[in-house]
């Protein structure tokens, strides 16, 4: 995994802005974790005025970063100062994680979030793959390293299959951008005690596409 990826390609920032628009008001006055926030924390910084607090997590960070608007970004999940986040954002992140590693991450997110927490995220659909590859490799409009790093192009069925092995369930799923992208809302199941993970003993390394 190349940890020096950037978002310099022409469409990276507009695509990020379009994803951020999907968030809506679910974050208002909530404590938010931006999971896979990237080294610049674009999403976390853009929503800071609407939330109670927002922290970002990305393993490509070399150290904790703090911004003047109160946003803090962390390179390690065990460094996060809260264990009761109300909202977890995962915008364009799940597709970069191997499915069974994603299941492990979902268990950790379960443990560091409030009982009524939700995960809101976006993932590109299988339909988008040839288009994204054309934009990246031929037109150079999106970052090719991000597209190369895609492990899975999720549809609703595949997402449900992964979630069946986790402590979360799919509450809402819909497509946008002409079916090329999708958004989902996850809520907690009643968790079996033997699934509980100790975050400080976890050495999972999250591939982060967003810089």
pTM for this prediction:
0.85
Q: How far is CA 140 from CA 5, 45, 143, 144, 148, in A?
A: 14, 27, 7, 7, 13
At 7 the pLDDT is: 57
Q: What is the pLDDT of residue 18?
A: 75
Contacts of 185 (CB under 8 A, 6+ apart): 118, 119, 120, 170, 171, 172, 173
Q: Give the 3-state DSSP-derived string for 44-68, with helices as H, strands as E and coil as C.
A: HHHCCCCCCEEEEECCCCCCCEECC
| Residue 191, pLDDT above cutoff 70 | no
Between 70 and 13, residue with greater pLDDT: 70
How far is the C-alpha of 22 from the C-alpha of 176, rounded, in Å? 9
- pLDDT for 85-120, tens place per residue? 999 999 999 999 999 999 999 999 999 999 999 999
- Per-residue burial over 86-104, b if 16 or more Cβ lie within 10 Å, else e, is bbbbbbbbbbbbeeeebbe
2-44 pLDDT, tens digit per residue, is 333 455 677 677 777 778 788 999 999 999 999 999 888 989 9
pLDDT at 203 over 50: no
pLDDT at 197: 40
200 pLDDT higher than 70: no
Q: Binning pLDDT at 50, 70 and 90, where does residue 171 land?
A: very high
Q: Helices (DSSP H) in 75-143: which residue ranges?
A: 99-111, 129-133
Q: Pick the more confident residue, 198 or 11.
A: 11
> Please, what CATH class does the domain formed by 12-201 belong to?
alpha beta
Cα 11 to Cα 20: distance, rounded to the nearest angstrom:
14
Whether the predicted pLDDT of 211 surpasses 70:
no
CB 15 within 8 A of CB 177: no
User: What is d(CA 191, CA 91) in angstroms, rounded to the nearest whole number?
Assistant: 25
- Residue 188's pLDDT is what? 98
Annotated domain spans of the chain: 12-201
CB 33 within 8 A of CB 80: yes
Query: In the predicted model, what is the mean pLDDT of the chain?
Result: 87
């Amino acid at each position: 995994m190349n940890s020096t990826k950037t978002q310099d390609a022409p469409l990276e920032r507009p695509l990020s802005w379009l994803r951020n628009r999907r968030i809506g008001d679910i974050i208002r006055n909530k404590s938010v974790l931006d999971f896979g926030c990237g080294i610049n924390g674009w999403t976390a910084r853009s929503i800071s005025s609407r939330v109670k607090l927002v922290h970002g997590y990305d393993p490509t960070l070399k150290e904790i970063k703090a911004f003047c608007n109160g946003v803090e970004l962390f390179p390690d999940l065990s460094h996060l100062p809260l264990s009761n986040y109300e909202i977890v954002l995962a915008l364009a992140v799940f597709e970069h994680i191997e499915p069974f590693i994603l299941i492990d991450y979902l268990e950790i997110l379960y443990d560091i979030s409030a009982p009524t927490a939700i995960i809101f995220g976006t993932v590109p659909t299988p339909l988008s793959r040839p288009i994204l590859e054309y934009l990246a490799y031929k037109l150079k409009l999106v970052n090719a390293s991000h597209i190369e790093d895609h492990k899975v192009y999720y549809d609703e069925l595949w997402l449900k299959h992964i979630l069946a092995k986790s402590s979360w369930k799919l509450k809402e799923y819909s497509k946008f951008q002409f079916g090329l992208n999708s958004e989902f809302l996850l809520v907690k199941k009643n968790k079996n005690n033997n699934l509980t993970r100790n975050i400080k003993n976890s050495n999972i390394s999250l591939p982060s596409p967003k810089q």
